[in-house]
Amino acid sequence: GENVEQHPSTLSVQEGDSAVIKCTYSDSASNYFPWYKQELGKRPQLIIDIRSNVGEKKDQRIAVTLNKTAKHFSLHITETQPEDSAVYFCAARADKLIFGTGTRLQVFP
């Protein structure tokens, strides 16, 4: 079945810097790749997603890129702010949504 690897597990950046989180997946049939943000004690929230027929998608300060050949996709956050601090999960879906292990992002003022 699908396996999703995510790194780094923790990431600390200064406010205003960029943050990049990378994921790889194993199932070439996966065609949908969402990213979730989970703040402490809250539910995972869908922040951006990309489908297999698209290479890049951007929404204000966040962007996601997909390389189907290499089976990896990345989340890019620019101009980070303290409120971006959270755990971020990538996921991949062929027939069901499988999650990566998560990245704890800390943005220091």
Partner 1 sequence: SAVISQKPSRDICQRGTSLTIQCQVDSQVTMMFWYRQQPGQSLTLIATANQGSEATYESGFVIDKFPISRPNLTFSTLTVSNMSPEDSSIYLCSVGAYPYEQYFGPGTRLTVT
Q: Which of 89, 92, 105, 107 binds partner 1 (CB under 8 A)?
A: 89
Specify whether the CB–CB gap between 88 and 103 falls below 8 A. yes
Q: Which is nearer to partner 1, 51 or 61 (CB)?
A: 51
Is residue 98 a contact residue for partner 1 (CB under 8 A)? yes
Is residue 49 at the binding interface for partner 1, with CB under 8 A as the rule? Answer: yes
* Contacts for 17 with CB less than 8 Å, ≥ 6 apart: 80
Burial annotation 23-61 (CB, 10 A radius, 16+ → b, else e) = bbbebeebeebbbbbeeeeeebeebbbbebeeeeeeeee
Is residue 1 a contact partner of residue 25, using CB atoms and an 8 Å limit?
no
Beta-strand relationship, 97-99 and 45-51: unpaired
Among the listed ranges 11-19, 22-30, 34-42, 53-61, the one in contact with partner 1 (CB under 8 A) is 34-42
Applying CB under 8 A, does 13 fall inside the site for partner 1? no
When the beta carbons of 98 and 105 are compared against partner 1, the nearer one is: 98
Under the criterion CB under 8 A, does residue 29 sit at the interface with partner 1? no
- The footprint of partner 1 (CB under 8 A) covers 1, 32, 34, 36, 42-46, 49, 51, 89, 93, 96-102
